[in-house]
Amino acid sequence: MVPAQVRTISIALREKNLAFNNPFGATGHVVDWELIRRQVGSIDSERKEVQEGLDEQNVIKVIDGLIDMVVFIEETFHKQGWDFDSYMMKVVDSLFTRFCKNEDQLRRTEIAYAAKGVQYVVEGQFPTKCLKSAVDQWLGADGAVYDNDPGEGSTFEWPAGKFLKCVDYEQPDIRLPEPPLHLQGEQKTV
């Protein structure tokens, strides 16, 4: 067991998985769709618990359900043989590209959203300055932006306060691990 002062949530959950006889997946490049389907079923069960907590205004039930969802998500990564921390850092790094780091990025981002007709406010300081939707806004079927629901074919695209991505936003670079050389070219699903 890892000493408490350096024990992270991921390490603790890995220890839990091993104690429950859930070995770390040996072939992260092979996708076990049935395993993932079962895990998603458990995650959905916890999502229902969160919804019940919301309906009952029971914060303990909400917290418990949210944490259990994270546990099942991490367990899915563990059983599949994927490095949760590595993938999570790729997503977090990508999230930071949503901010405008300088005046040039801010100006280009403002121009892009203004051209769409999106109303926004600017918040923060460089390098974490951002645009947020100023009001609830819908994207109509005609491509125009509306501050009330224009009806069929529209999508509620920008709720008030929604973070608007910088024009230089970068998607996370998520890929499966490379298979060992002797398995390269084989089917990558189970």
CB atoms within 10 A of CB 92: 10
Examine residue 141 and state whether it is found in any structural domain, yes or no: yes
Same domain, 125 and 87: no
Please provide the average confidence, as pLDDT, over all residues in the chain. 88
Question: Are 88 and 110 members of one domain?
Answer: no
33 & 55 share domain: yes
Whether residue 115 sits in one domain with residue 74: no
Distance between CA atoms of residues 84 and 89, nearest Å: 9
Range of the domain at 148: 103-164
- The rounded distance, in Å, linking the Cα atoms of 190 and 188 is 7
Q: Are 16 and 75 members of one domain? A: yes
Residue 176 lies in a domain: no
Give residue 183's pLDDT: 52
Q: What is the pLDDT, as a whole number, of residue 87?
A: 92
Q: Please list the ranges in the chain whose pLDDT falls under 70.
A: 1-6, 26-28, 179-190
**Same-domain pairing of 68 and 88:** yes
CATH number of the domain residue 78 falls in: 1.10.3420.10
Q: What is the pLDDT of residue 15?
A: 85
Q: Is residue 48 part of a domain?
A: yes
* Confidence at residue 118, expressed as pLDDT on a 0 to 100 scale: 96
pLDDT at residue number 120: 97
Does 169 reside within a domain? Answer: no
DSSP string for residues in 34-95: HHHHHHHHHHHHHHHHHHHHHHHT-HHHHHHHHHHHHHHHHHHHHHHT--HHHHHHHHHHHH
| Closest C-alpha among 115, 114, 110 to residue 130 | 110
Q: Are residues 146 and 70 in the same domain?
A: no
**What pLDDT is recorded for position 182?**
53
Q: How many domains in the chain?
A: 2
Cα 73 from Cα 47, distance rounded (Å):
12
Question: Is there a single domain that holds both residue 83 and residue 142?
Answer: no
- Asked, for residue 179, whether it belongs to a domain, the answer is no
On whether residue 9 sits in a domain, the answer given is: yes
Based on the fold, state whether residues 21 and 89 are members of the same structural domain: yes
pLDDT in tens, 136-152: 999 999 999 998 888 89
Retrieve residue 126's tokens: 């460089």
Please indicate, yes or no, whether residues 109 and 90 belong to a single structural domain of this protein: no
Q: How confident is the model at residue 180, as a pLDDT? A: 56
- Tell me whether residue 170 is in a domain: no
Same domain, 32 and 71: yes
Where is the domain boundary, 70, 94, 118? 94
Q: Is residue 171 part of a domain?
A: no
How many helices (H) and strands (E) are present in the chain, helices listed first?
5, 6
